[in-house]
Every structure is written in C-alpha cells, then in structure tokens.
Structure 1
Amino acid sequence: MWLEMKLTSMVMTCLCMAFIGTAAASSFVVGVEEIDYYPLHSCVNGKFSGYGRDLLDAFAKQSGYSFTYTPLPVSRLFHTFLNDSSIDFKYPDNPHWQADLKKGKSIFYSAPVINVIEGLLVKPEKVDQLSSASLRAIVTMRGFTPWPFEQAMRQKINNGTIRVYQEDSFSKVIGLGMTGHYDAIYASPIVINYYLDEIVHKPGALVFDRKLPFESNDFSLSSIRQGEVIKQFNEFLEKNQPLIIELKRKYRLPEKAAQ
C-alpha cells in the first residue's frame, strides 16, 4: 500500500511539473511602448490597445499562447529588452531603430505587421516653404529619433544647428507644433491626423510635408530568445490576410504599404 501511494505521489508530482512547464512555455511577456500612438498602438494608464494589440491577441489566441503586455517608456523599453530577460518580445521594433544599442545582439524580427510613414508635419502656411537647409527646430516624442535624413542633416542635429525637442506625450508634441514656434513635429501622419480629427477637433491644423525628409517604417515583433515563435507569427501573418485587412479597416489604417 505504501509503495502504491508513493508511486501515485511521484506520478502526480511529475504531471504537475509537466503542466507548469507547459504553461510557462506558452506564457510570454511583450514589452510595448508606453505612449499614446493610437490607432497604431497605445498604452494609457497601463492599458495596451489599438491595432497592434488586436493583432497580437489574435495570434496568441489562435496559437494557444498567453501574452502579458508590459508598458515602458520608449528608451527604457529598448534597454530592458536588450539587457533583461524579463521581456520575451518587443513591439513594435525595426532593425534600424537604435541600431547602435543593438550591435552584437542577435535579434529575430517578424515580417512587417504594418508599414507606416513617419516624417515632418508643419502648420498649413509652412507647407512647401521649408527645406532641409532651413529647418531649425523639431519636436518629437521622447525616445524617438527623427533620422530619415541624410548624413548632413544628422550632423546638424548632432551639433545643434537643428534642435530636437522631446516631450513625454503626443498631446504635448502636437500642442507645441500648433503654436508655430517650431518648424515641424516628427511622427506618423496617421497618428497626428487621428488626434487632430478625433481628440482636439482641429483637422488640418498640422499637415504632412512630403517635400521634407520622411521614411517608410516597418513595424515588426522582435525577440532575442523566441525565434520559433517569431516563425509561427510569420505563418500567422501569411495565412490570416483577411483578418489583418479587417483590423486595418477597423482602425482606418492603409491596407497596403505606407500611403
């Protein structure tokens, strides 16, 4: 009897350990930007939302995973992701972002989740009036680097000829841009137009100036350790195009590459 009880106890212990191991293997922490970049993604009062959240949740549900989202300021998120094993994935990410910090790190990137233009928005009366040579002051989000520029402009930013002011929220960035005291703000027109249309009800108060430098950014999911899950996510993106189109329509995002 004692032997049977001992064997039963050992079996139950093994089963519990196996269950715990399986649960741990399917539960992941996704580090996300603690900013309001809606409708692309947003984290306000600790709640992650927007297109990115819906897409990642759909993948997790379909794959049997559990995602916990950990919001961090943009700069701290990079350092935590690269140096702290507490975060399994980073969203969004791009191989070109903070490239200097990533040197020597082997990082897996998913296929693009969405392609987004990021550039300079100006007061309507300044459209087509500014050039790379005349820019003097840019406002952007803290942790963002407005680097769609040629080396000469980067040098001007580095030596202070072009001043880059950073704020902790896009409401402040947009507010400063609307004062006209700065040449431009750097962000995605999708985000700025949403804020102007839906939040402050001043559509067109800032306008994307295509004559100034801009870039087309791919937003991807990245990981240092979970390369296999990144592969699964790529398969999910490939096989679920109707869902992706539906989500983009829900958030009024371009269905093709950056527009």
Structure 2
Amino acid sequence: MMLTGMAAAKSFVIGVEEIDYYPLHRCVNGRFSGYGRDLLDAFAKQSGYSFTYLPLPVSRLFHTFLNDNSIDFKYPDNPRWQVDLKKGKDILYSSPVINVVEGLLVRPESVDQLSEASLKSIVIMRGFTPWPFDQDMRQKINDGTIRVYQEDSFGSVIALGMTGHYDAIYASPVVINYYLDVVVRKPGALVFDKKLPFESNDFFLSTIRQGGVVKQFNEFLAKNQSLIMALKRKYRLTDKTAQ
C-alpha cells in the first residue's frame, strides 16, 4: 500500500554494521548488501519510503544510535545486545526479521573434543556479544581463564580460527560456511560444534523515535511471507542451511 502526501517522500537513515556478515548482511566499500538489505529495500519500496544506510563499526553504531539523532533505525539489533549501554533508553523492536544460529566453530579434528571446562581461547568479532555463554563461562572470560581475542573483520576471525592456535571462533555457521565455501574455497575448514554453547538469535529492526514505521514494518513482515522465503532461498538461509 502506497502512502500519500508528505509521508510518501519520507526518508530515513538506518545504521548498519560495517562488517562482512554475508549472506545475512555486509558492508563493503560503503555499500550495504545481503538478505537484510533486500528485505528492507522491499519494505521501503512497498511503503513509499526512502532508506539511506549508514555503515559504522559495531561498537560505534550502538553509541551513535543511542545518543545521536542522526540515525532513525538500527539493523540488526536484539534486546540482549549491549544491555548496559541501553539502560534508560526506550527502544522499540520490530517483529523478528530472521532467526540466526550463533555459536562456536572449531577445526574438524577438535569437534566433540572440547567442553566448557576445557575451552581456553576464543576469537570473536569486535563488538559482538557471545550470549550463549553461561555465568560460569562469563566469569572465566572476565578473569582471563578463557582468553577472548577480538578482530575487526570476519576474514581475520576465520583466518585465526584456521591456524589451530585458538580453540574456537564465535559466529553464525551460515556466515562462516559461506566464507569457507565461496571466498577462500576451503569448505569444512571450520565446523560448528553443537556440544559447545550455542543459541538462536533473532535479528530485529530497532528504533527510538519511529515507532509508527516499525508497526508498518511488522505488518509488512506478516503479509509478505512468500517474499521472505524467496529471499531466504536466494541467500541460502533456509532453516536447514542456516543451522
């Protein structure tokens, strides 16, 4: 349904992560692409909106979204991410855009060989929050028993994970599998270890000031399931592939 009048020309800025998390989303040379981009563009087109995507490093994106009125929306977001930064902020989240499994990937010879007790080192994307970890694991991270190495790109995260010098990397298996299969052509070089902590995370569109648009977005998601499934197939994000 097209909007009329001034609303039809309404433009918004969506803050997005300046990372390569393809096929879910990525930003390379300032261009945002992937499943998230296609879905948001489809909503904008159907609703008569114009979206500008502003890429920022993950940590800076949170600070800018929460404290700077220049960003209308953040994608992706999740109520459990950066909880301390969000204290006192009235944030509205959309319906889930996509459900993403995130956990620990290890070298093939290490599958089923590690446990929460034996895990000593993890490589992670800077700004990411490893939510599957329980209180005991978090305490081990805080006191240095489990060392966490942060990198600025998933290329670096994956490269370090493949060296064998670190126990595991934290990411979405669908992202890592795409990178290994398509980019470096080393399929199976890292394997999702379901014996280690993992979790299904929903990705949301969030806002502080544009609740009306989020309501429209929710209606779009509910009414366009065939489009959503077509985009998931396009980006190899069907449930079987993603998990």
TM-score band, normalised by the shorter chain?
A: over 0.9
2:109 to 100, 125, 129: 125
> Match of 1:218?
202
Task: Show structure 1 runs of 5+ residues with no match.
Answer: 1-18
Aligned-partner Cα distance in 1 for 2:70–2:96: 24
Aligned-partner Cα distance in 1 for 2:29–2:72: 22
Contact 1:114 1:257 in 2 (8 A): no
Aligned-partner Cα distance in 2 for 1:64–1:41: 23
> Match of 1:103?
87
- Superposition TM-score, scaled by structure 1 size: 0.90
1:149 to 111, 115, 133: 133
Task: Show structure 2 runs of 5+ residues with no match.
Answer: none
Residue identity in the other structure for 2:177:
N
3-state SS in 2 of match to 1:231: helix
Residue identity in the other structure for 1:195:
Y
Runs of 4+ in structure 1 deviating by more than 4 angstroms, as ranges, are 255-258
1:180 to 164, 183, 201: 164
Residue 255 of structure 1, CA deviation: 4.6
2:17 to 24, 28, 33: 33
> How many residues get paired?
239
Aligned-partner Cα distance in 2 for 1:96–1:23: 32
3-state SS in 2 of match to 1:117: strand
Residue 149 of structure 1, CA deviation: 1.0
3-state SS in 2 of match to 1:60: helix
Contact 2:9 2:48 in 1 (8 A): no
Identity %, equivalent residues: 82
3-state SS in 2 of match to 1:85: coil
Residue 215 of structure 1, CA deviation: 1.1
1:62 to 43, 46, 49: 46
Q: CA RMSD in A?
A: 1.5
Pair 1:79 & 2:63 matched:
yes
- Superposition TM-score, scaled by structure 2 size: 0.96
> Match of 2:174?
190
Aligned-partner Cα distance in 2 for 1:105–1:256: 36
Pair 1:89 & 2:66 matched:
no
Residue 147 of structure 1, CA deviation: 2.7
Contact 1:116 1:257 in 2 (8 A): no
Contact 1:115 1:257 in 2 (8 A): no
